[in-house]
Structure 1
Amino acid sequence: MPRPSRPQVVRWLVLLAVWLVTAVVVGSALFFNSSRNVPLAGHDAEVSPTLSGHAVLETGPVLPDVRFDLPGRLGVTIVLGKTDAESTEELFARYALIASNVEPQVAGVRDAVVELALASALRGLAAGSLPVIVHLLLGPARRRDLWEDLRTLRPRPVLAVALVLAAIVALWQPWLDEEPEVARTRSWMPLQEFLGDEVPVPEQARRVEVSADSTATGTQRLIGSALDTYAKSQVFYDAAVEKAADLEVREPADDETVALLVSDRHDNVGMDRVARAVADRAGATTFLGGGDDTSTGKAWEAFSLDSMDKTFGDMERWFVTGNHDHGSFVGDYLVGKGWTELDGEVVEGPGGGTLLGFPDPRSSGLGSWRDEKGVSFAEAAQTVADVACDSQEAGERVNTLLVHDANLGKVALERGCADLVVGGHTHVPAGPTAVEGEDGQLGYTFTNGTTGGAAYAIAVGSKPRRDASMTLVTYDGAGRPAGVQVVRLLTDGRFQVDPYAALSLPEGV
């Protein structure tokens, strides 16, 4: 194969340069004029990259906008959209709750910007290839003819160039003058200056600035309250994480597997890092989610699921949805992040044992009422028992039955078709309680409390509203449940570790 001549090399280098320059120009233009919608802080939010070097949070016409510096020239503007908060006070309570574990929200924005950059780069590379492709398709003879036509002003090529220029001008429309935006005339001041010396600002918020326009003056009290909640929650949960490292919990044997059972978080992302610290102290490597991770099951609560995924995403994890997780959002969102949703099929669970799970058939709002939709709770309990017993008849006994409400597994235990039923729902720990089923087969039922420390359907505030519970479930070398141990974070910040409760299951069942 003959070596390319010097002119050929120069020609290909020029074409490559044209491709790259065009790709960079077009890709950059697309990137800085693009946006992505993401769920953020309980809002529908639009994320757009900028060259401001700031992260700017535009909160709307009433609340003050917020910004803080970012390293480098790249910045981002986040425009908060709709939310279902019923009052400004509730909205600020949410903000304080989310701020206690803000990294998943930051990661969501970061991922959105990276996706926009990759998409723009790909489009830029495609656009940059067009002039190169046209150049190669025309060939040297046709290019000379076109150049001669342009040089001598022949109509066809001149008309083509004119039409291209006209199309560009029509899309650009430089004659339209935009009115100056109010937001562009705003001034910024440090958060501490905005609130005054009487409201201390946590160290983490020192570099935050707010827009200092007249619409913001009425929100100082709410911002101060949210900062106070945030500061107290950071102190409370950070102290709990530190204490968890020294808890006296049972350590597993070499052939045992420990699962962390969490239920009824109800959006309390502050407890996630505490539960993970307890899991690490106990050597837990698997995660059982008992449902009610949200209060309504709506998309605004993605921040809670993001926090759970970031905190426990490196563990083996299974979950069921609870009565407050009604709808498809919670399940679909977690499955999209690699979680295993249990929905009526026997799968391999902790320690290699068998695991069966069912979602709660009920749905709830934020009140105390419950609705049963499609199938009654009693009918669902019969279905659970049928599946468990069919599996047992096929030679595969269910070692763990994971449900939101342990009562959903009551019939399965009575028929002697499961070793252990675990759930939550009542917000109060109970068990383990032995249940003798048909033919004398023994099983246990156990209820975890509320990991979020929730008194109602949503756990907001600077600390749990009631004792926050998490349970360590130990499995033997065959994957059968061997014992449970409840760990509670009390409302005063102290831990209570219950004694390890061994499960006396018969051999070979």
Structure 2
Amino acid sequence: MLRHTATVSRLTAYVAVWTIVAFLAGLLFFLSSSRTVVLASHDAQVSPDLGGHVVVHTGPVLPDFRLDTGNTLGVDIRLGKTEARSTDDLVRRYISIAGQPDSQVDKVKDAVADMAWDAALRGAVVGLVPILVWLLLGRRRRRDLGARALGPQGALAGLLVVFLVLMAWQPWTRNESVVESEHPWMSLGDFVGPDVTLPEEAAGIEVRGDVTTDQTRRLLTSAISKYESSKSWYVTAATDAAALDLHQPSEGETVVVLVADRHDNIGMDQVARALGDAAGATAVFDAGDDTSAGKSWEEFSLDSVTQAFDGLRRYGVAGNHDHGTFVSSYLDSHGWTMMDGEVIDGPDGATLLGVDDPRSSGLGAWRDETGLSFDEVGQRLSDVACASPVRVSTMLVHDADLAADALARGCVDLVLAGHLHVQEGPTRVVGSNGQVGYSYTTGTAGGAAYAIAIGGKPRRDAQISLVTYRDGRPVGIQPVTLRTTGEFHVAAYIPLVLTPSRVETAQK
């Protein structure tokens, strides 16, 4: 009984020591850690602290911002390099991102959570060290070391520890005062002045500026005004979209949202999702050009469209403006099924085929070959479609011309594309084999007049299309256009009359 009690006491002591050491070590690791992420189109360093605020250091031109988190944990964010060509361009990006901040907030949360888990694991390992050392030394060795600790050797060891701590700490070194510490925090309202009405969500924001940022008050005031009008415009559009009278799928039918040419306009993402929900959509097709240049600073756009369609099955291709492989690889790693030149299963039993625009990556699905021309990639894609043992119900491409040969040969039911920024079709095509197919190009979902649509309201009419499937085959399309005036134009549902399949013929 006494031995059992001693064992329990010893194990309790080990657990207590491990818990204390692991917690302290983990906390130290956590507070000294950082992550570099792409945030708000910047390379940004994210570091946790116990200051109770989210502090954003924007650099020498714009003021720093902070917001109370409501608890002890805080985050320090230092924005680094960006590819913005001017301060005005940068502010326009901020306006757009601020209107749809959830994806960026989640990115910071994920970074902090990742650091916390990493610190906890490292702390757990460190917490085992004193216990393992204690056990490895053994009782006799511990007694011997304890006796020596009270003698000259112990005193020398203690002095060595103190010396090492002082060398690491260096309390005699004087740090120069930091410039930013000389400028107090003030409310955003006080900074911009009483003539500016702040949005409700900005009520708790504080800023810290200097003589340089005093010159940006007018720019910041203008940004607040643009933010308020832009956000309210998209919120109103999303609310109106949810109430539209759209074609509803019948029993056994599936609806897919089709977007293309967003060009960084994340404001339209909430509108597109509202339309999809109103139509009962369960999947989304992205026909490319989510960005203007395919650069890493445009992660915010990819994060936004990913979050907007969370819970839906997501399929996509990269467009010609999504230069390189960054966009495809990023979306692929964040839950999208990216087309790579092979026939795959899609929603409602549909068979899908598609590939990134060859003008974006120089590759198709054929990764061992480079420099394939647009026509060569189209020919390869057509060959894959026509050789498929099951009929391809949908070919998803950025430019419909890439699938023209497959349609001409009668090997696909429906080609879905973007690129033109205006609607074309659906156009009925009778293939050389007698099979009927359709080509449909949707307008720009971002309301983009050119290659970028970030900031403010759409520059031209924005369009989202809704594609209905039955038994794995497309049976109808409904285009929905949001005018630059904020009014919706809901086009009539367009039935697609295809050549009956062998199963349908046999059933008749």
TM class by shorter chain equals over 0.9
Scaled by the length of structure 2, what TM-score is found? Answer: 0.94
Query: Partners of 2:346 and 2:266 in 1: how far apart?
Result: 26
CA contact (8 A) 1:187 1:213 kept: no
Structure-1-length-normalised TM-score: 0.94
Q: Match of 2:187, as an amino acid?
A: P
Aligned to 1:221: 218
Where do 1:288-299 residues align within 5 Å? 288-299=285-296
Q: Which of 365, 373, 376 is residue 373 of structure 2 equivalent to?
A: 376
Give me the whole-angstrom Cα distance separating, in 2, the residues matched to 1:190 and 1:152: 60
Verify: 1:278 aligned to 2:283, yes or no.
Answer: no
Residues 1:359 and 2:356 aligned together: yes
Q: Distance in 1 between matches of 2:72 and 2:220?
A: 29
Q: Distance in 1 between matches of 2:120 and 2:455?
A: 43
Deviation at 1:32, TM superposition (A): 1.2
Bigger mean CA deviation after superposition, 226-235 or 428-437: 226-235
Misfit runs of 4+, over 6 Å: none
The answer for the alignment partner of 2:105 in structure 1 is 106
Mapping of residues 382-401 of structure 1, within 5 Å: 382-391=379-388, 395-401=389-395
Determine which of 407, 421, 439 is the counterpart of 1:413: 407
Tell me the equivalent position of 1:321.
318
How far residue 141 of structure 1 moved from its aligned partner, in angstroms, is: 1.1
Letter in 2 for 1:303: F
Corresponding residue to 1:438 among 428, 432, 451 = 432
- Give the 3-state SS of the residue equivalent to 1:231 in structure 2: helix
Tell whether 2:185 aligns with 1:188.
yes
* Partner of residue 489, structure 1: 482
Match of 1:448 in 2: 442
Give the structure 2 partner of residue 36 of structure 1: 35
CA distance in 1, matches of 2:183, 2:120: 33
Report the CA distance between 1:198 and its aligned residue: 2.2
Q: Tell me, in whole angstroms, the C-alpha distance in 1 between the residues paired with 2:2 and 2:324.
A: 65
Aligned partners of 2:266 and 2:454 also within 8 Å: no
What amino acid is the match of 2:384? V
TM-aligned CA deviation for residue 485 of structure 1: 0.6
| Structure 1 counterpart of 2:144 | 145
Q: Aligned letter for 1:56?
A: V
What SS class does the counterpart of residue 323 from structure 1 fall into?
coil
SS at match of 1:37: strand
**Which residue of 308, 328, 331 corresponds with 1:334?**
331
Pick one of 419, 422, 425 that aligns with 1:425. Answer: 419
Shift in Å at residue 143 of structure 1? 0.5
Native 8 Å contact 2:395 2:415 kept in 1: yes
C-alpha separation between the residues in 2 aligned to 1:334 and 1:71?
A: 33
Is 1:480 the equivalent of 2:445? no
Post-superposition shift, 1:142?
Answer: 1.1
Query: In the TM superposition, what whole-angstrom CA distance separates every residue of 1:364-404 from its partner, at most 9, and x where no partner exists?
Result: 9xxxxxxxx8122111111111111111xxx2111000000
Kept in 2: contact 1:355–1:398 (CA 8 A): yes
How many residues end up aligned between the 2 structures? 494
Distance, in Å, in 1 between the alignment partners of 2:167 and 2:87 is: 44
Residue 75 of structure 2 is aligned to residue 79 of structure 1: no
Counterparts of 1:235-254 in structure 2 under 5 Å?
Answer: 235-254=232-251
1:220 is displaced (CA, Å) by 1.1
Question: d(CA) in 2 for partners of 1:468 and 1:474?
Answer: 20
- 1:17 pairs with 2:11: no
Compute the displacement of 1:186 (Å).
Answer: 1.8
Amino acid in structure 1 at the alignment position of 2:498? L
Is the contact made by 2:66 and 2:207 (CA closer than 8 Å) also made in structure 1? Answer: yes
Instruction: Give the structure 2 partner of residue 58 of structure 1.
Output: 57
Residue 368 of structure 1 aligns with which residue?
A: none
Residue 237 of structure 1: how far off its partner (Å): 1.0
How far residue 423 of structure 1 moved from its aligned partner, in angstroms, is 0.4
CA 360–6 in structure 1, closer or farther in 2 if over 3 Å, else same: same
3-state DSSP class of the match of 2:81?
coil
Which stretch of structure 1 is more off in the superposition, 79-88 or 303-312? Answer: 303-312
Q: State the alpha-carbon separation in 2 of the partners of residues 208 and 168 from structure 1.
A: 40
In structure 2, C-alpha distance between the alignment counterparts of 1:214 and 1:420, rounded to whole Å? 60
> For the residues of structure 2 that align with 1:235 and 1:60, how far apart are their CA atoms?
29
Q: Is the 8 A contact 2:430 2:436 kept in 1?
A: yes
Going from structure 1 to structure 2, the CA distance change for 1:404 and 1:166 (only over 3 Å counts) comes to same
What is the distance in 2 between the residues matched to 1:69 and 1:146?
Answer: 50
Q: Which amino acid aligns with 1:116?
A: M
Distance 1:398 1:163 in 2: 75
Q: Which amino acid aligns with 2:482?
A: L
**AA paired with 1:48?**
S
Q: SS where residue 45 of structure 1 aligns?
A: strand
**Is the Cα contact below 8 Å between 1:423 and 1:446 reproduced in 2?**
yes
Map Cα deviations across residues 303-335 of structure 1 (whole Å, 9 max, x no partner): 111111111021011100001111121111111
Q: Is the 8 A contact 2:318 2:360 kept in 1?
A: no
Q: Which residue of 2 aligns with 1:503?
A: 496
Amino acid at match of 2:105: V
CA–CA distance in 1 between the matches of 2:78 and 2:65? 11
2-structure distance, mates of 1:47, 1:270: 25
Q: Please report how far the alpha carbon of residue 503 of structure 1 lies from its aligned counterpart in structure 2 after TM superposition.
A: 0.7
Structure 2 counterpart SS, 1:438: coil
- The alpha-carbon deviation at position 9 of structure 1 amounts to 2.7
User: Deviation at 1:11?
Assistant: 2.7
Cα deviation for residue 415 of structure 1 reads 1.1
Moved more, 79-88 or 381-390: 381-390
Provide the identity percentage: 51
Q: For residue 164 of structure 1, report the CA deviation from its aligned partner.
A: 4.8
Task: Pick from 446, 449, 461 the counterpart of residue 455 of structure 2.
Answer: 461
Given the alignment of the two structures, is residue 471 of structure 1 paired with residue 468 of structure 2, yes or no?
no
Query: How far apart are the structure 1 equivalents of 2:125 and 2:90?
Result: 44
Partner AA of 2:315 in structure 1: W
Any gaps of 5 or more consecutive residues in structure 1? 365-372
Label 1:406 to 1:149 Cα distance change in 2 as closer, same or farther (>3 A). Answer: same
For 2:168, the equivalent position in structure 1 comes to: 171
Q: Is the 8 A contact 2:290 2:301 kept in 1?
A: yes
SS of residue in 1 equivalent to 2:278: helix
